[in-house]
A and B are shown apart, each in its own frame.
Chain A
Amino acid sequence: MKILVCISNVPDTTSKINFTDGNTKFDSNGVQFVINPNDEFGLTRAMWFKEKQGATVHVATVGGPTTEPTIRKALAIGADEAIRVNAEPLDGYFVAEQLAAVVKNGAYDLVIAGRESIDYNGGMVPGILATLLGMNFINTCISLEIEGETATAVREIDGGKEKLTTSLPLVIGGQKGLVAESDLRIPNMRGIMMARQKKLNVVEPVGTEITTEDVAFDKPAPKGSIKLVAADNLDELINLLHNEAKVI
């Protein structure tokens, strides 16, 4: 089985978010970039397939040279080869089209992407990618088993979960649950050394027009201070929620 894991290079979850150039661009100054958490769960599941069932695992990202430390980390975790599409990820559709070209060239059986990236939260790349390729697709995937050409997956739904079957080739939008948080891997020294020897292919983007453009950014208004209620005066809390906030 040949697996492609799509990796998004995102600001660390604790990053302070600021905008620059008259609030038209994200300010990456001093921001630490990491593998998108939802992608990391997918990468770890791909490593499980590699080790337990035999699979080749490639990783791909769309981004400039500054994204290379992030995909090198994926190689250090155990991916066999990496592809970087040399383009700024302009919008979700653009990213999906670039990844679709990578998948076509690589003839992958399974494509794992995170259900969404934690920066722009679009959640559209796996679904658009699958549709452009005519591949089956399961989103919010929290469990995935593969037997021959048949995949059995569980996806999260509002208020519960759904078990599904489908066939390869398949794209999934994955998240926590594909593996447990405790299964995530930290690259060891041997992995880091080996990653230096692995292939990191840089490919040029396919020409596409963008469908959306972020023309300005702003931040939520600063929050007012909290109203504290004494633990022995809960009638006051109920009063505030009923009469002031009007939520009960």
Chain B
Amino acid sequence: MSVLVYTESENGKFKKNATEVASFAHEVARQMDTTATAVSINANDSGNMGDYGISKVLNVTDEKLKTFNAQAYAHVLKQAAEKEGAKVIIVSSSTDTKFLAPILTALLKGGYVPNVVAAPDSISPFKVKRTVFSNKGFAHTELKSDIKVIGVSNNAFGSVENKTTATVESFSPSLDGNIFGTTSVSIDKVVGKATIADADIVVSGGRGLKGPENWGMIEELAEVLGAATACSKPVSDLGWRPHGEHVGQTGKPVASNLYIAIGISGAIQHLAGVSASKVKVVINSDPEAPFFKAADYGVVGDAFEVVPTLIEKLKKFKTQNA
């Protein structure tokens, strides 16, 4: 009765969150005095999961699963859970996984707790800590169901090395019947750029940038830092940036190590979306901007003077510390 973990991959490579959920699964398995088994779908380097405490990998290779399909992937995980007799299933908080986890939960008639930020408070009863009210509070939630699905928040537990040897076993779930409820027509994705979900650093711009023509310096700062770019709600409403970059309560949540807000005053809805970030820096010409009350470090100044100087100084810093 091992703990099952879904380790996501893309183009054959594990996503950044895979090592984090594997580490979390190892910790849960340790508390339950059992082992952790990973399910990987079309990943090339499954054995590497042994570095994070996974003792077995169920390796699924199937062309039909090349493109993510929530219903089909949920059926794969259901069959893996049944094969292993797993009662606890660990998943990430990526957009894809938040799509499939409720389906999996209903297929297994279990309980699901997403946005979990720490290892279980206890395993008997099974209690976890999760964020609620858009990060303005935490709930300690008891899972009463036999099957438990736990969604781990991005960047909350971290990747922890626990070297063991993972046995890799081929797993061929049944993909018959009408389990592909939707058909993917096209995917429009920026390639080679950090995404808000995966990035350690996010550089975000607001209305203080005055127009989309000034976005170059946001992108340049992000490039120097290896960061993703984001924006405030007014910026996406004005059409300067796509909605996919809008950070906040009705936009994307950010749980990066460093969040740099430039020309963003810090509306409560925006702050809710970034509060899970570990370190927040604000650059704004208005010393009364609410973001100064929520940030760790701040610069009161004109973004058009501060940001170009910061870019130059960071380039120099990077060269010296390369």
Q: Do A and B come from one complex?
A: yes
Distance in Å: Cβ of B183 to nearest Cβ of chain A: 5
Please, which residues of chain B bring their CB within 8 A of the CB of A226? 282, 292-293, 295-298
Determine whether A190 belongs to the interface, using a CB cutoff of 8 Å to chain B: no
Contact present for B281 and A237 (CB under 8 Å): yes
A-B contact count (CB 8 A): 260
| Chain-B contact segment, one of A42-50, A60-68, A129-137, A199-207 | A129-137
Chain A contacts of B295 at CB under 8 A? 226
Known A-B contacts A131-B102, A213-B144, A226-B292; the reply to A166 vs B181 at CB < 8 A is yes
Rounded to whole angstroms, the CA-CA distance of A164 and B237 in the bound complex is 24
The 4 lowest CB-CB distance pairs between A and B, nearest first, are A127-B102, A211-B111, A231-B301, A160-B189
- Main secondary structure, interface of B, reads mixed
Task: Beyond A131-B74, A242-B321, list 16 extra A-B contacts (CB 8 Å).
Answer: A92-B112, A124-B112, A140-B95, A160-B190, A162-B188, A165-B185, A166-B181, A175-B250, A176-B246, A212-B141, A220-B135, A220-B136, A224-B296, A231-B301, A238-B317, A241-B279
Q: Give the docked Cα–Cα distance between A228 and B135 (Å).
A: 25
- A–B complex contacts, Cβ < 8 Å, 23 sampled: A13-B249, A37-B249, A123-B98, A127-B106, A128-B103, A136-B181, A140-B99, A156-B243, A158-B94, A159-B198, A163-B187, A212-B111, A215-B127, A217-B138, A218-B137, A218-B138, A226-B293, A228-B297, A234-B306, A234-B310, A234-B313, A238-B310, A242-B321
Chain B residues within 8 Å of A125, by CB: 102
Question: Closest approach, in angstroms, between the C-beta of B141 and any C-beta of chain A?
Answer: 5
Across the interface, do A211 and B132 meet the contact criterion of CB distance under 8 Å? no
Q: Determine if A212 and B137 form an interchain contact, defined as CB atoms under 8 angstroms apart.
A: no
Q: Which residues of B contact A120 (CB under 8 A)?
A: 132-133, 139
**B138: chain A residues within 8 A (beta carbon):** 217-220
- CB contacts (< 8 Å) of B302 on chain A: these are 231
Q: Quick one: closest B residue to A97, CB to CB?
A: B106
- Is A195's CB within 8 Å of the partner chain B? no
Q: Nearest CB to that of A180 among chain B residues?
A: B237
A245 at the interface (CB under 8 A from B): yes
Residues of A62-116 at the interface with B, using a CB-CB cut-off of 8 Å, are: 91-93, 96
Residue B103 contacts which of A137, A212, A248 (CB distance < 8 angstroms)? Answer: A137
- Residues on A with C-beta less than 8 A from B282 are 226
Q: Which residues of chain A come closer than 8 Å to B272, judged between CB atoms?
A: 13
Residue contact B114 to A121, C-beta cutoff 8 Å: yes
Known: A120-B132, A140-B99, A212-B111. A228 touches B317 (CB 8 A): no
- Complex: A92 Cα to B103 Cα, angstroms: 12
| Bound Cα distance A157, B98 (Å) | 11
Are A137 and B187 in contact (CB-based, < 8 A)? no
List, in ascending order, chain A residues with CB within 8 A of B112's CB.
92-93, 122, 124, 128, 211-212
List residues of chain A with CB within 8 A of the CB of B293.
Answer: 226
Q: Which residues of A contact B114 (CB under 8 A)?
A: 121-124
